[in-house]
């Protein structure tokens, strides 16, 4: 139950090192570049369509796919991902479909991380979900509305099945909370670049570099920066100080605004390639 979280060690005995996303970060670190994480809601625009989209992202150079399980009340998401989630849910996507999508994308060889609000997991059963996620080949969970204090069951289940757990840190996190939160992460830490929700923005946040160095001061884990990154130039910029560049809304919009799936996929490939080039252009 909640509260128990504080006493659980950051890297449990069950941590399967080969499954962890840390491996992918080591590889891009060795290449002297940032890692690119691209996000797409499961089941958007359809189950098959989302597999096609995520596969296209991988072949265009996205290193890691973040599969967001659609949720009816996504408080951390801006209008673009909200709309895509609504479309996925209206299409009838289920948690079991999301697991199937994760399995299909993991089969391409790209590491898959799952992003999910907490209620679908609580409803599925935390232990059962961890078991099925591991079996599908997922690396772990990003939990936007779960803080370590409430995460007792997830800490235990992620240890049991050797899954990564990525909690968020924010510019408003106190030093004490930041250290506590990072201490419960495994795989990588998600730094929310600004105070706000997902959605591409014209300029990247100046709060992000400070936040990344605050995280670095307390951990050796890689740090990914998300919220607001939408183009190659921004990927270059964020990749200059973060280990991972996380892009969601801009990619999703490629599929939302287009008249048909083929046009959407073309736009998605082009943006993915632009972002992939961005993280490789980084001068560090």
Partner 1 sequence: MSAPTVPASGTSSPDGAGHYGRYGGRFVPEALVAALDELDLAYRTALTDESFQAEFGAMLREYANVPSLLYRAERLSAEIGARILLKREDLNHTGAHKIRNVLGQALLTKRMGKPRVIAETGAGQHGVATATAAAYLDLECVVYMGEVDTQRQALNVARMRMLGATVVPVTSGSRTLKDAMNEAMRDWVANVDRTHYIIGSTAGPHPFPAMVRDFVRGIGVEARQQCLDLRGALPDAVAACVGGGSNALGIFHAFVGDDDVRLYGFEAGGDGVETGRHAASITGGSSGVLHGARTYVLQDSDGQTLESHSISAGLDYPGVGPEHAWLHDIGRARYAPVTDAEAMNAFQLLCRTEGIIPAIESSHALAGTIKIIPALTAELGREPTIVVNLSGRGDKDVHTAGEYFGILDGEQA
Please identify every residue annotated as catalytic: 66, 77
Query: What is the distance between the alpha carbons of residues 94 and 89, in angstroms, rounded to a whole number?
Result: 8
Q: Which is nearer to partner 1, 121 or 238 (CB)?
A: 121
Q: Which is nearer to partner 1, 58 or 98 (CB)?
A: 98
In angstroms, how far is CA 136 from the centroid of its own chain? 17
CB of 227 to partner 1, least distance (A): 10
Q: Which is nearer to partner 1, 119 or 210 (CB)?
A: 119
Q: Which is nearer to partner 1, 119 or 266 (CB)?
A: 119
Strand partners, 147: none
Point out which residues bind partner 1 (CB under 8 A): 1-3, 71-76, 78-79, 82-83, 86, 89, 94-95, 118-124, 144-147, 149-150, 167-174, 177, 181, 192, 195-197
Phi, psi dihedrals of residue 8, rounded to the nearest 5°:
-85, 135
CB of 108 to partner 1, least distance (A): 26
80-99 burial, b for 16+ CB within 10 Å, e for fewer? bbbbbbebbbebebbbebbb
CB of 136 to partner 1, least distance (A): 16
Contact of 219 with 200, CB cutoff 8 Å: no
Query: What is the distance between the alpha carbons of residues 104 and 48, in angstroms, rounded to a whole number?
Result: 10
């Amino acid at each position: 139950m909640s509260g128990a979280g504080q006493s659980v060690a950051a890297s449990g005995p069950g941590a399967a090192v080969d499954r962890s996303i840390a491996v992918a970060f080591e590889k891009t670190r060795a290449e002297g570049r940032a890692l690119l994480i691209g996000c797409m809601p499961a089941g958007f625009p359809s189950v098959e369509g989302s597999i096609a989209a995520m596969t296209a992202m991988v072949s265009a150079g996205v290193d890691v796919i973040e599969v967001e399980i659609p949720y009816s009340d996504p408080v951390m998401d801006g209008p673009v991902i909200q709309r895509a989630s609504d479309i996925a849910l209206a299409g009838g996507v289920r948690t079991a479909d999301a697991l199937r999508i994760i399995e299909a994308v993991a089969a391409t060889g790209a590491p898959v991380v799952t992003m999910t609000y907490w209620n679908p997991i609580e409803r599925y059963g935390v232990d059962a979900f961890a078991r099925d996620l591991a079996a599908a080949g997922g690396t772990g969970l990003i939990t936007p509305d779960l803080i370590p204090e409430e995460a007792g069951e997830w800490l235990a289940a992620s240890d049991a099945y050797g899954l990564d757990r990525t909690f968020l840190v924010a510019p408003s996190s106190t030093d004490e909370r930041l250290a506590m939160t990072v201490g419960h992460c495994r795989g990588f830490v998600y730094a929310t670049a600004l105070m706000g929700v997902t959605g591409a923005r014209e300029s990247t946040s100046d709060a992000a570099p400070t936040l990344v160095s605050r995280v670095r001061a307390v951990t050796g884990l890689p740090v990914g920066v998300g919220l607001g990154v939408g183009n190659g130039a921004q990927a270059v910029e964020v990749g200059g100080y973060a280990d991972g560049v996380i892009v969601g809304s801009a990619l999703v919009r490629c599929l939302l605004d287009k008249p048909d799936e083929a046009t959407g996929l073309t736009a998605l490939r082009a943006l993915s390639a632009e972002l992939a080039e961005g993280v490789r252009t980084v001068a560090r």
